[in-house]
Structure 1
Amino acid sequence: MFENLTDKFEKAFKVLKGQGQISEVNVAETLKEVRRALLDADVNFKTAKNFTKTVKEKALGRDVLTAVSPGQLMTKICHEQLVELMGGNETEVNYQGNPAVILMSGLQGSGKTTFSGKLANFLKSKKGKNPLLVACDVYRPAAIDQLHVLGEQIGVEVYSNKEEKNPVKIAEAAVQHAKSNSHNVVIIDTAGRLAIDQEMMNEIASVKEAIQPTETLFVVDAMTGQDAVNTAKAFNEKINFDGVILTKLDGDTRGGAAISIKAVVDKPIKFVGTGEKMDAIDIFYPKRMADRILGMGDVVSLVERAQEQYDEKEAQKLQKKIKKNQFDFNDFLSQLHQVKKMGNVKDLMGMIPGMGKAMKGVEIEDDAFKHIEAIIYSMSPYERENPKAIDVSRKKRIAKGSGQSLQEVNKLLKQFNDTKKMMKMMSNKKNMASMMKQMKGGGIPGM
């Protein structure tokens, strides 16, 4: 996500490397690169021009502190301006009401139906709501079927009526159904088109007027860049939506839509979609996004994802096993699954400061752990519980059963033993204190 933009920002700030102070000359040179980076990322031209103008005004005349280099100061100013450009603070969806009605709009192919399911899952699992999904796309039976499949997958009821061809009547009946069946949020998935047309706009405007939604959201594919911003502008002029949803942010996204959509339509980005799974949905935090664009990582989001998968009882059980030196491959596999639930591995690595740059050019498959899982699944229950029992003949059988080489099996066993040792060491407070003491003194434990 935003790899090219991050690289170009770094290149721009290199102009100030080794400079003793910020001057009009080196600021102009830096901002020329910044503007080029933004335009290459498909940011709106006017937005890019205003961004660099504001940064220049803030940079010139600023005193550079002894502890801060001109490059660091420029990074700080650009960071502050990026945050402001993308909305300043996060803005959640308004789901208050009895029921709250959320109207979804957008072009066909933007991921609107899938995101309706993700939003329902989010409100159910994170907010304790009882949502109702409503299929109002009367033109594509496949969209209705897709919504039913998603609803079944997440355990949310879907209201539809294939006989009725008037979306206004379907929406009104759905709201009444929600009131009668204790649904406190109604999410209405409307029809999309391949392009903006008057008929489509009139239809969604009629639905909005009839049901008076609590919230109207515009769903847009982040990979379409500046086209996404132009489409958002057209929709906003017709239905005056409350917020934007950016989907497919995990793809080959240049970042233009995320950076300039707020400036162009003056509506906040409320959520982003970051994958295919139903839990691949994040609240949009401008500051965290600016951190990632400037290569600073996003530790807060990483910790939040880890906390979502954290099970206190399981953690306590694991702690006891580690202390007794009973950590086995079943535990190793369980930890692996928790990491996988946190999301795409490369995306997670990008959240660690400095790792995005280190991982540049490194291809990590979506299922990067599949060969490790294959090896563990090829072990017998006894071998998983007793890794020390895995001798040469067992290794050969495991390698054959998993479709991996003997070297890969040996490599995993070494990784497992190293992990086990480290966990054992970290569970002992005295060892931890000793490690910290040696690290402060410049030494490395065990070396």
Structure 2
Amino acid sequence: MDTSESSPADSTQTQPPSQRQTSEPAAAPRAGWRRWAMDTRPLRIPAYRRLWSSTIVTAVGSQLTAVAVPKQIYDITGSSAWVGAASLAGLVPLIVFALWGGAVADTMDRRKLLLITNCGIAVTSLLFWLQAVGGLESVAALMVLLAMQQAFWGLNAPARNASIARLVPEAQLPAANALGSTVMQTGQVVGPLLAGALIPVIGLPELYLIDALALCVTVWAVYRLPKLPPTAIAAARRAGVRAIVEGFRYMSMHKVLLLSFLADIVAMVFGMPRALFPQLAAETYGSYGEGLALGLLFAAIPIGAVLGGLFSGTFSRARRHGWMVIGAVVAWGLAVAGFGLSGNLWLATGFLAVAGLADMVSMVFRGAILLSAATDEMRGRMQGVFTVVVAGGPRLADVLHGTAGSAFGARTAVTAGGLLVVVVMLALAAAMPALRRYRI
């Protein structure tokens, strides 16, 4: 049987949220510890379960390549500057193709787009493997392949994220976002650790091959999704510059969407201190061992996010999504400021873990707002902007914090950045009430 076609069990999940919720029975309240644990109701939906399961595999596999590329570039050149240049080489196509990919996701079957782009990413991983096995040792080739990979990812991410609202009821969007975000954050912890353990055993080229094989699992899972065609209005449009401009115009007219993006920009640009981790590990926490300190600082935020996801049962059921975003961003800023003030490594790690938990809450509810407040024919473009913001914000923060850390000292820069997040977020919430009034 061709499982790519919608089965009776799956077909109801592709209806608009307003049609789906009327037939879904109310969930019984969970008692005891279960009310705190992760809400897994979206996994009862076969189509969403397939999409989520594919993410488990690629969350780790993609991190293997994310470690292998800079490692190979550094091995070839012996220069961290080339590693940084490669990061920028991947950022530009990601931004361009994420914006265009959002427009494409609104005008064609999203399942088909996911199939095409996942196949493209898999082929790119195979090419990474071939150049490594062949001993090419060309930084230019690596940067071209990295640009190709990020272009395919930019096309893929908006379609994947926009599809969630077609697969689960609106009331379960926070739970679905928590499930997806927890898997991605877990991959950011497990993937680099696994890469570090595997490189001495199997070698660098095989990391690319493992990623490529993992992507085959993703392609199969996407193939089994139901069709996700565009609305009749969206199908009649072309995915060009005009469609992208229409997306920005739509966002500017819906203040809650605009504010959800601004909240993330404020948190990441002013409050992401990762560029200062090496300096802090050497200067402030060097007595604990520079290697240990650096590893803990980089791991703390994703570990906090994973813990937040595992115990997301309570906050994923909140209805005042705007206030949850505001509170999470303020909590992120306070935790970052606390990290900047901490001279003790373990206390600093704890503050970063709290920041990671707050970031998880922010991700869950910003994602839910984007999926519920935007119409289906605009969701792809909103997710394209979301991809750009998520990718670009931390990179801008690296430049800002690196400059401020050199001028004023690392701890001063981190503390000031965290406090600035709190002040700016509260000012935005006070000046523009759309976000704090938003609820489902």
Scaled by the length of structure 1, the TM-score of the pair is 0.26
Higher relative contact order (CA 8 A, sep 6+): 2
The structure carrying a bigger strand percent of its residues is: 1
Scaled by the length of structure 2, the TM-score of the pair is 0.26
